[in-house]
Structure 1
């Protein structure tokens, strides 16, 4: 079965009881796993993945709750915890024969990648995070009127019920808002790709909300426990971020270095969807990371 990434094939991989991920795979060589963000699917990597596949095996899953992957009902705080989602990714890679692999994530996928690096340090050889801060740092820097840019974090942190109803009632407008305001190059997400993202999100409102709810709850508990215990990312780490303004971006590199001593941090000039807006810059950063 073909996928939205040219030259890649698509398969379903069981990763937990009753949960399978939709995974696109291409290329050959040392494995690299790429995790998408919100409000997207694995298709966001279509440019980057093709380049890396020239000399790597590239694995692009839809995260649990997104795209064509399974969307289990939220039966407790662990259903969409990043710990659970990271375990999904490790299980999918192992099913493909990869006991150790490099891992890059954007947005939500970057949160999953960081958790994988903390929980599975012997499995993740290199780690890249695109356009996030570590989860506890995000909640710490959002304050006052500057927090308005992240209104969706607060909306989806609410108890089950209201967020799902509000978002489902205007799903295309809600998810389309972020595709519009977070993009500087309006041509970077073509109409057919945008339509695919919106359809995928429209069909996944409860699981997307559960993913975000976890970040304000169980994920934060896990992260703060790790910080108190002094757990760090021991592998080489690269971070690409936009400049979010003086308040939100203050000492972003320092905040990351507290979690990742072996860090390369860079600010990019494109919008949030950098793998689509500036794929060459992302590819270079990933190739530099893999060479470390």
Structure 2
């Protein structure tokens, strides 16, 4: 991987934090109460580079790459996919935050990061002040809602979750074309215009690493198996997220495929608010100012 990548967070510290299971590559900056920001697929912490200048005025921002993504370490793949479960990732990220001196914090997650964020809220409410999720519904809801039209929209869930090494070999044959098609197809404009040149350089760099492509597939295999089981166990037991939760989604995004995303989240939360923004899936990059304003209003309440 190229170590001479464009600087996206001037003035921020670069830290690498070893936890029991993962070495996290992380950027830290801003001032105020701690706010953990988590990215999704197929991206890295760089997604927050346009919102960080707004959020960092009021919060100390912690921006890690998820395990196997960006420059964080790649956990071993396994038959149970447990190393890639959102429960494991939530636990590791709490450990990372404790190393940084943050016993209690708020968290916002986009896409796969949102799945880690709500799992963190479900499993570790004592660690969280507030939680925000961007353009997702709970994992169990997505799998249970799969039918013809929704399946076409999130075809990648079934493709990436296929047994190794089929999807990773397929992607790695032409990784940049797959990456850029995926990014463009999930925006409202169906192009790459919302992504800065520098952000795309970062993305292309790590997505050309076959081991990291395999890790992202393993993330989705976990989603189809162990993550679903964790969600369903909580649902069947009647457990709900007690931490106040904000759900944001793009009105042309993936979560908008259901009639009422907020009502779906209300089934999982004791206290929930939310709204749609005029964009596709990538809220932090398609609508950075509106996204930052919505997060600031929620986390500052």
Which range, TM-score by smaller chain? over 0.9
Structure 1 position 230 matched with structure 2 position 212: no
1:61 and 1:45 map into 2 onto residues whose CA distance is: 11
Partner of 1:137: 141
| CA deviation vs aligned residue, 1:163-208 (integer Å, no higher than 9, x gap) | 1211111211111111111123543212231122122122211100
* Paired positions, count: 291
Distance in 2 between residues matched to 1:227 and 1:245, nearest whole Å: 22
* Aligned mates of 1:32, 1:263 — CA distance in 2: 19
Normalising by structure 2, we get a TM-score of: 0.92
Contact 2:254 2:280 in 1 (8 A): no
CA separation of 1:253 and 1:247: change in aligned 2, threshold 3 A: closer
Indicate yes or no: 2:282 matched with 1:273. Answer: yes
Which residue pairs with 2:130 in the alignment?
126
- Structure 2 residue matching 1:79: 3-state secondary structure: helix
Q: Aligned in 2, Cα 1:180/1:101: closer, same or farther, shift over 3 Å?
A: same
Secondary structure in structure 1 of the residue aligned to 2:76: coil
Q: Matched residues in 1 for 2:55 and 2:136: separation?
A: 22
Equivalent position of 2:197 in the other structure: 191
In the alignment, which residue of structure 2 is the partner of 1:260? 269
Matches within 5 A, 1:1-292: 4-17=8-21, 19-75=22-78, 76-184=80-188, 186-203=192-209, 204-243=212-251, 244=253, 248-292=257-301
- Which string of whole-angstrom CA distances, capped at 9 and with x for unpartnered residues, describes residues 202-225 of structure 1? 221110000011000000000000
Is residue 3–residue 10 contact of structure 1 (8 Å, CA) maintained in 2? no
Equivalent-residue separation in structure 1 for 2:28 and 2:50 (angstroms): 14
- Checking the alignment, whether the CA contact within 8 Å between 2:37 and 2:107 is kept in structure 1 is yes
Which runs of 5 or more structure 2 residues have no equivalent in the other structure? none
For normalisation by structure 1, the TM-score amounts to: 0.95
- Structure 2 contact 15–26 (Cα < 8 Å) conserved: yes
Deviates more, 1:224-233 or 1:196-205: 196-205
Q: CA deviation at 1:245?
A: 8.4
Give the CA deviation at 1:239.
Answer: 0.7
Sort the Cα spacing of 1:247 and 1:106 in 2 relative to 1 into closer, same or farther, 3 A: closer
Runs (4 or more) in structure 1 with deviation over 6 Å come to none
Q: What root-mean-square deviation, in Å, do the aligned CA atoms of Structure 1 and Structure 2 show?
A: 1.8
CA distance in structure 1 between the partners assigned to 2:300 and 2:13 by the alignment: 27
Q: Deviations over 1:262-292 (max 9, x none)?
A: 1111011112111011111111111121133
